[in-house]
Amino acid sequence: MKIEPKQAKSISDEIREVLSRGSRAVLATIVDSTQLTVGAKVLVTQSNAVCGDLGDAAINAAVTNEAIKFLSAREETKTSKVSEFAPELNQFSQTSILFERIEDEPRLVIAGAGHVGASLARIATQLGYRVTLIDDRAEFVARELFSSPAEQNIELVAAADWVDAVRQSVGNGHGVSVAIVTRGHKQDEDCLRAAAEASPDYIGMIGSKRRTNIVLDKLREEGFDQEQLKKVRAPIGLDIGAVSPEEVALAILAEIVAERRGGSGAPLSAWRRH
């Protein structure tokens, strides 16, 4: 079955809607087949809505199920033969399907533009994150401090109010990581309060165990959801023995990437020790 222009357009429209909502989807495309049309596509959204047609009801169902599994894994792309995920469909066993994750570029909202926050913003842009850097001190988010070509993509926000600035930057929280690296309890508390409301993909807060517990206890007293607060990474980052601001920023971003990709943060060489 050939895809008509109208159908192709409807998939394109759905992709635009997925991205505008900050949601995710999987685009499945036939890339090799003797029975089905190469190039036929289906789009499976995060809410399990399906758009498109691969030309056979059984294939549509099998690919949809595999797309849902693919979405919960954290790969960007993969190519699979039908025999690998639907061996019962013998007639299509050698058909190859390309699965592609559809989502907006990952976003990182950094509250606090001191040495750690500024370093984190610079490193994150190199990894393809769309970065927003917020501080209530305008001189810390002046454009001349972030003037290189790569740094031009960092959105700089001089906050009149921490809560409003973080809430606006985090939006609905989909695809967003939040790093709270401000200079004090009050700022941490305001930023965490605003970020937690949106349930972003990741929230981390810098500081000692004592300092972070003070902030978390305060929000518990205010009635914030206990399960949501348990997800807050505090103190933020992986233990790599970081000392300098750049090393601390690296430890933070390593944890953010691990959370996004489903990594454990364990040494890859650990298998040698067993």
Task: Name the residue among 159, 198, 201, 200 with its Cα closest to residue 182.
Answer: 159
pLDDT value at residue 21: 80
pLDDT computed for residue 3 by the predictor: 38
Q: How many CA atoms lie within 13 A of 226 on its CB side?
A: 1
23 pLDDT band, cuts 50/70/90, is confident
Per-residue confidence band for 2, with pLDDT thresholds at 50, 70 and 90: very low
Count CA atoms closer than 13 A to 118's CA, side-chain side.
Answer: 16
Torsions phi, psi of 159, nearest 5? -90, 125
pLDDT of residue 6: 38
Q: pLDDT band for 8, please (50, 70, 90 cuts).
A: very low
d(CA 271, CA 263): 15
Express each pLDDT in 152-187 by its tens digit.
Answer: 999 999 999 999 999 999 998 888 999 999 998 889
Model confidence at 4: pLDDT above 70: no
Token pair belonging to 268: 């890859």
Amino acid 5: pLDDT:
35
pLDDT score at 141: 97
What six digits make up the tokens of 126?
């190199």
Mean pLDDT of 258-267: 87
Tell me which of 20 and 110 has the higher pLDDT.
110
Residue 7 has pLDDT above 90, yes or no: no
Element (H, E) at 244: none
pLDDT of amino acid 9: 54
Per-residue pLDDT of 52-89, as tens digits, reads: 999 999 999 999 999 999 988 778 899 999 999 999 99
Q: Which residues contact 271 (CB under 8 A, 6 or more apart)?
A: none
Query: For residue 205, is pLDDT > 50?
Result: yes
Q: Residues of the chain with pLDDT > 90: what percent?
A: 66
Task: Provide the H-helix boundaries in the chain.
Answer: 5-20, 57-72, 82-85, 115-126, 162-170, 185-198, 209-221, 226-230, 245-261
Q: Considering only 55-69, 112-126, 220-234, which range has the smallest mean pLDDT?
A: 220-234
Predicted confidence band of residue 207 (pLDDT cuts 50, 70, 90): confident
Reported as a single tens digit per residue, the pLDDT across 132-154 is 999 999 999 999 999 999 899 99
Residue 2 DSSP symbol: P
Model confidence at 237: pLDDT above 80: yes
Side chain identity, residue 158: A
Q: What mean pLDDT do residues 2-27 have?
A: 74
Average predicted confidence (pLDDT) for the chain: 90
pLDDT on residue 52 = 94
Q: Are 53 and 28 in contact (CB under 8 A)?
A: no
For residues 116 and 248, the answer to whether their CB atoms sit within 8 Å is yes
What is the side-by-side order of every strand in the sheet holding 77-81? 50-52, 41-45, 24-32, 96-103, 77-81
3-class secondary structure for 18-86?
Answer: HHHCCCEEEEEEEEECCCCCCCCEEEEECCCCEEECCCCHHHHHHHHHHHHHHHHCCCCEEEEEHHHHC
Confidence category of residue 127, pLDDT binned at 50, 70, 90: very high
Query: 199: exposed, middle or buried (C-beta count within 10 Å: 0-12, 13-18, 19+)?
Result: middle
Residue 207's φ and ψ, nearest 5 degrees, are 130, 170
Angle 162-170/185-198 helices, nearest 10 degrees? Answer: 30
Instruction: Report d(CA 18, CA 12) in Å as an integer.
Output: 10
Helix (H) or strand (E) holding 143: none
The predicted pLDDT at position 274 comes to: 62
Structural domains of the chain, with CATH:
5-103 (no CATH), 107-261 (3.40.50.720)
